[in-house]
Amino acid sequence: MKTKLYSASFSARSLLLMIALVVFTGLNAFSQTFDRNYQDGRLYFKFKDNVRLDVRVNDDRSVDIREIPFVSALSSQYRLKELSRPYDLNNDAKLLKTFMLEIEDFGKIEEVIQKLGLEKDLEYVEKVPMCYIDYVPNDSLYNLYNGPSKWKWHLDVIQAEQAWDISRGSADIKVAVVDNAVWVDHPDLKDKIVAQRDTYYNTGNANPPSTGNPFDWSHGTHCAGLVGASSDNEIGIASIGFNVSLIAVKASNNNNPDGIYGYPGVQWAANNGADVISMSWGGGGYSATEQNMMNTLHNMGIVLLASAGNDNVSTPHYPSGYNYVISVASTNSDDKKSYFSNYGTSIDLCAPGGSASPSPDGLLSTTFNSSNLGYYDLMQGTSMATPFAAGLAGLILSVNPDLTPDQVEEIMKSTCDNIDAQNPDYIGKLGAGRINAFRAISNTPFEPTANFEASLTTILPGGGVDFTDLSTGVPSSWEWTFQGGTPSTSTEKNPTNIRFNSPGIYDVTLTVTNSFGTSTLKLEKYITATNTPSPLIAIEASDNNPCIMEEVVLMDKSLYQPTSFQWAITPETHQYVNGTSSASQNPQVIFLKPGSYSVSLTAANANGSSSADFEDFFAVAGAAPSFTVDMEDKTSGVFMLWDTIKSQAAVDKRGAHLSTYGIHLHGDPVPTGWSGSGTGTTPEQAWGTNVGFHAKAYICGVDATGMEDLTLQLDLRQTYSLGPKFSWFRVLVNGEQIADKEGNTNFNPTTAGADEWKTLTFDLSPFAGQVFDVVLQSATRFADKNQGEGDNVFIDNISITNTTPVKPVVKADNAFKVYPNPSDGLFTISSPRLTGNNIDIRVTSLLGTVVYSEKAKGNSSGLLKTLNLNNLPAGIYLLSVTDGQQQMNQRIVIR
Closest by alpha carbon to 380, among 330, 437, 445?
A: 330
SS3 of residue 213 by DSSP: coil
Alpha-carbon torsion, ordered 216, 221, 223, 226, to 10 deg: -130
Contact call for residues 335 and 422 (beta carbons, < 8 A)? yes
What SS3 class is residue 343?
Answer: coil
Return phi, psi of residue 309, to 5°: 105, 160
The reply to whether 179 belongs to the active site is yes
Q: Are strands 245-250 and 174-179 parallel, antiparallel or unpaired?
A: parallel
Q: Do residues 604 and 662 lie in contact, with contact meaning Cβ atoms separated by under 8 Å?
A: no
Distance between CA atoms of residues 460 and 476, nearest Å: 33
Q: Work out whether the CA dihedral 456, 459, 465, 467 comes out positive or negative.
A: positive
CA atoms within 13 A on the CB side of 8: 28
CA–CA gap between residue 412 and residue 672 (Å, rounded): 40
Q: Which of 140, 230, 355, 383 is catalytic?
A: 383
Neighbours of 492 (CB within 10 A): 10
Q: How many CB atoms are closer than 10 A to CB 429? A: 16
Does the active-site annotation cover 383?
Answer: yes
How far, CA to CA in Å, does 456 sit from each of 481, 742, 784? 17, 64, 53
- Dist CA 246 CA 172 (whole Å): 10
Q: Which helix (H) or strand (E) holds 245?
A: strand 245-250
Contact 761/740 with Cβ under 8 angstroms?
A: yes
Which residue type does 457 have? T
Q: Given 139, 165, 172, 179, which residue is catalytic?
A: 179
Q: How far apart are CA 878 and CA 886, in angstroms?
A: 16
Dist CA 182 CA 197 (whole Å)? 10
Four-CA torsion 730, 733, 734, 738, nearest 10 degrees: -70
Report CA-CA distances (Å) from 751 to 680, 720, 755, 832, 836. Answer: 16, 7, 6, 63, 59
CB 776 within 8 A of CB 726: no
Decide if 460 contacts 445 (C-beta within 8 A).
Answer: no
For the chain, how many residues are written?
A: 895
In terms of Cα–Cα distance, which of 650, 190, 176 is closest to 375?
A: 190
Task: With residue 533 as reference, give the H or E element that holds it.
Answer: none
Catalytic one among 154, 186, 219, 666? Answer: 219
Cα separation, 238 vs 188, in Å, equals 9
Q: How far apart are CA 681 and CA 690, in angstroms?
A: 10
Distance of CA 559 to the CA centre of its chain: 33
Question: Is residue 107 classed as helix, strand or coil in its secondary structure?
Answer: helix
Whether the bond into 808 is cis, omega within 30 of 0 = no
Classify 136 in phi/psi space as left (phi over 0), alpha (psi -120 to 50) or beta: beta
- For residue 514, how many other CB atoms are within 10 A of its CB? 17
Q: Contact, 458 vs 503, CB < 8 A?
A: no
Q: Kindly provide the residue ranges of all beta strands, DSSP E only, lying in 783-825, ordered along the sequence.
A: 792-802, 817-819
Q: Which amino acid is at 345?
A: T
686: helix, coil or strand? helix
161 within 8 A of 262, measured Cβ to Cβ: no
Beta bridge partners of 628: 799
Are the C-beta atoms of 151 and 222 separated by less than 8 Å? no
Q: What are the residue numbers of the active site?
A: 179, 219, 383
